[in-house]
């Protein structure tokens, strides 16, 4: 499974909004400063998330973007479905027919069973993790499946996370 840039940055925007809560908004320049996104790209992401009913646009002096419902009511599956394709869909087989009109294994495909099971597994996990769980670092569902979150190792070397970069970026208004 490949996570697209749209999914990665869309998820980051949702996490930022969840940290703000329902009463606070973020503007497009805020997303630029906090995530390093261009304003047009941030606008594209937020438009997609708004159309999916996950984000609302607030007009006025204190306007911007906010979650449309509490983070506890938004599951990751909804976010990923808004931003991209499912891990597996029936269209998958139609894309991989080789030189033929239909796949030669269409009637008895063991590989499709693997991808379908994988897709169902991912969907079930994403449907159990809320945006609030991500913000709070509560990913206990992974323990039930004995899955590591990948955060077991510490960041070392030249790629340390940089905090406070906001003060070094020119703010656009």
Q: What is the pLDDT of residues 8-66, one digit of tens each?
A: 999 999 999 999 988 899 999 999 999 999 999 999 999 999 999 999 999 988 889 99
Judge whether 156 lies within some domain.
Answer: no
DSSP letter, residue 109: -
Domain tally, the chain: 1
Supply the pLDDT for residue 28.
Answer: 95
CATH number of the domain bearing residue 53: 1.10.10.10
Q: Is residue 144 part of a domain?
A: yes
For residue 67, the SS3 value is strand
Whole-number pLDDT of residue 42: 96
Q: What is the pLDDT of residue 22?
A: 80
Helical pair 110-126 and 76-83, crossing angle rounded to 10 deg:
120
Task: Let me know if 141 is exposed, middle or buried by CB neighbors in 10 A (0-12, 13-18, 19+).
Answer: middle
pTM greater than 0.85: no
Q: Assess if residue 169 is contained within a domain.
A: no
Domain that holds residue 102: 5-151
Tell me the C-alpha distance between 115 and 160, whole Å.
36
pLDDT digits (tens, 9 = 90+) for 95-107: 666 777 777 666 7
């Amino acid at each position: 499974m490949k996570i697209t840039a749209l999914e990665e940055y869309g998820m980051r925007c949702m996490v930022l909004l969840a940290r703000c809560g329902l009463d606070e908004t973020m503007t497009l320049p805020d997303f630029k400063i906090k995530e390093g996104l261009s304003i047009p790209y941030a606008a594209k992401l937020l438009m997609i998330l708004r159309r999916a009913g996950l984000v609302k646009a607030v007009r006025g002096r204190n306007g911007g973007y906010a979650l449309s419902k509490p983070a506890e009511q938004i599951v990751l599956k909804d976010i990923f479905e808004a931003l991209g394709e499912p891990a597996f869909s029936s269209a998958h087989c139609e894309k991989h027919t080789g030189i033929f009109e239909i796949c030669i294994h269409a009637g008895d495909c063991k590989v499709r069973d693997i991808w379908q099971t994988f897709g169902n597994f991912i969907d079930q996990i994403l449907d159990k993790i809320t945006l609030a769980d991500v913000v709070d670092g509560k990913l206990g569902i992974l323990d039930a499946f004995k899955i590591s979150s990948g955060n077991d190792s510490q960041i070392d070397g030249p790629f340390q996370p940089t905090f406070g970069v906001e003060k070094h970026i020119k703010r656009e208004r």
